[in-house]
């Protein structure tokens, strides 16, 4: 079968022919239909991601497809079931074997392309906003990097919760996508003093930060007393250095959030969140945004689009 493989951290990944795997105990065989790309895929190429698998490996953290076979001890999901899986690797291939416990059955009306880019982005934002930040209706939420994969899901879920959402992104076109997702206020990150513009809106209660760098510093200065800051990622390449005195004076909480970590220490929390998200999707309250799709043969181009930050929402590779 075909697989998009990373062999070392000095050579770009590429397509290879490998043997189709067979499911072992506790595993299912999946015919993969689509694979969602994430910023973490880029970090894996450089060996900088905290969960980079041992080399060599097939890339692709999250996927959607059809169950084709069971390993010993597995009876669900049923053969033929449509599933989405956060696997950490293996999604950019014709087939893959994955832990059955990680498979989430998807609604019949959910296209594979949407399902493949759903788990990480919406799962991250849902748990971060509801469990960590405990965002409440009427609070003011600012989303940094609001047009990206996780950022756009945070805008949509924040609006669904009933928050007043401020979207911060680069350029009119990207901000328009955030507005369509439910943002109430739009701020171009390259247009003026971000802290001053946030303060002019009355400050913020919750900061959702997938960017880091100067935008984090600006949002911190505009955070209200007892505000909460979610540190989701560092797309800018700059990890913020947080002045603890500001936290003390304004009683601000800064919380790190890594969605994949829940698979290790609280999988039941993650599963409950995904169940709630599927219900929101089925009710028509959230609609995942996929800005670009590429065939497996052009997976390298898909990663380049993500690297150059030219996409909005999710980039998905179809198999």
pLDDT of 145 reads 95
Cβ-contact 270, 66 below 8 angstroms: no
| pLDDT score of 235 more than 90 | no
User: How far apart, in Å, are the Cα atoms of 228 and each of 82, 133, 217?
Assistant: 37, 6, 14
Residue 107, classed as helix, strand or coil, is: coil
pTM assigned to the model: 0.91
Residue 303 has φ and ψ, to the nearest 5°, of -65, -35
Confidence category of residue 67, pLDDT binned at 50, 70, 90: very high
Q: How confident is the model at residue 244 (pLDDT cuts 50, 70, 90)?
A: very high
pLDDT band at 190 (very low <50, low <70, confident <90, very high): confident
What gap in Å lies between CA 218 and CA 213, rounded to an integer? 9
Contact criterion met (CB below 8 Å) for 41 and 88: no
pLDDT of residue 191: 84
pLDDT of 69: 98
pLDDT band for 90, please (50, 70, 90 cuts): very high
Say yes or no to pLDDT of 51 above 90: no
Question: What would the pLDDT profile of 264-313 be if each residue is shown by its tens digit?
Answer: 899 999 989 999 999 999 999 999 999 999 999 999 999 999 999 888 99
Domains and CATH numbers, the chain: 2-118+288-318 (3.90.180.10), 120-258 (3.40.50.720)
**CA–CA–CA angle 210, 214, 220 (5° rounding):** 75
Alpha-carbon torsion angle 299, 302, 303, 304, nearest 10 = 120
Grade residue 119 by pLDDT with cuts at 50, 70 and 90.
very high
- Band (pLDDT 50/70/90 cuts) for residue 237 is confident
CA distance 78 to 66: 10
Does position 50 have pLDDT exceeding 90, yes or no?
Answer: no
What mean pLDDT comes out for the span 68-93? 97
- Give 30-42 pLDDT, tens digit per residue: 999 999 999 999 9
Strands 103-105 and 82-86, bridge-based pairing: antiparallel
Instruction: Using the predicted structure, report yes or no on whether residue 211 has a pLDDT greater than 90.
Output: yes
pLDDT tens profile 247-260: 999 999 999 999 98
């Amino acid at each position: 079968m075909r697989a998009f493989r990373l062999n070392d951290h000095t050579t770009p990944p590429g397509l290879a022919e490998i043997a189709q795997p067979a499911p072992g105990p506790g595993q299912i065989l999946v015919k993969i239909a689509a694979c969602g790309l994430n910023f973490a895929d880029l970090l894996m190429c450089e060996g900088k991601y905290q969960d980079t698998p041992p080399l060599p490996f097939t890339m692709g953290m999250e996927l959607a497809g059809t169950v084709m076979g069971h390993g010993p001890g597995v009876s669900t999901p049923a053969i033929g079931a449509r599933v989405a899986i956060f696997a950490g690797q293996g999604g950019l291939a014709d087939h893959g074997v994955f832990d059955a416990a990680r498979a989430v059955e998807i609604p019949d009306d959910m296209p594979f392309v949407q399902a493949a880019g759903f788990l990480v982005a919406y799962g991250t934002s849902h748990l971060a906003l509801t469990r960590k930040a405990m965002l409440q209706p009427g609070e003011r939420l600012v989303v940094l990097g609001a047009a990206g994969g996780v950022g756009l899901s945070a805008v949509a879920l924040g609006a669904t919760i009933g928050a007043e959402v401020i979207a911060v992104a680069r350029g009119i076109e990207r901000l328009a996508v955030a507005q369509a997702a439910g943002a109430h206020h739009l701020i171009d990150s390259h247009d003026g003093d971000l802290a001053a513009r946030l303060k002019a809106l009355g400050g913020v209660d919750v900061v959702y930060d997938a960017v880091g760098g100067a935008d984090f510093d600006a949002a911190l200065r505009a955070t209200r007393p007892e505000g909460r800051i979610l540190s989701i990622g560092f797309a800018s390449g700059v990890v913020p250095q947080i002045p603890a005195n500001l936290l003390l004076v304004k009683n601000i909480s800064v919380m790190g959030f890594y969605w994949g970590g829940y698979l290790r220490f609280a999988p039941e929390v993650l599963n409950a969140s995904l169940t709630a998200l599927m219900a929101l999707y089925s009710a028509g309250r959230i609609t995942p945004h996929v800005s670009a799709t590429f065939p497996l043969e052009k997976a390298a181009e898909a990663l380049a689009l993500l690297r150059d930050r030219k996409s909005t929402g999710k980039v998905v590779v179809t198999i």
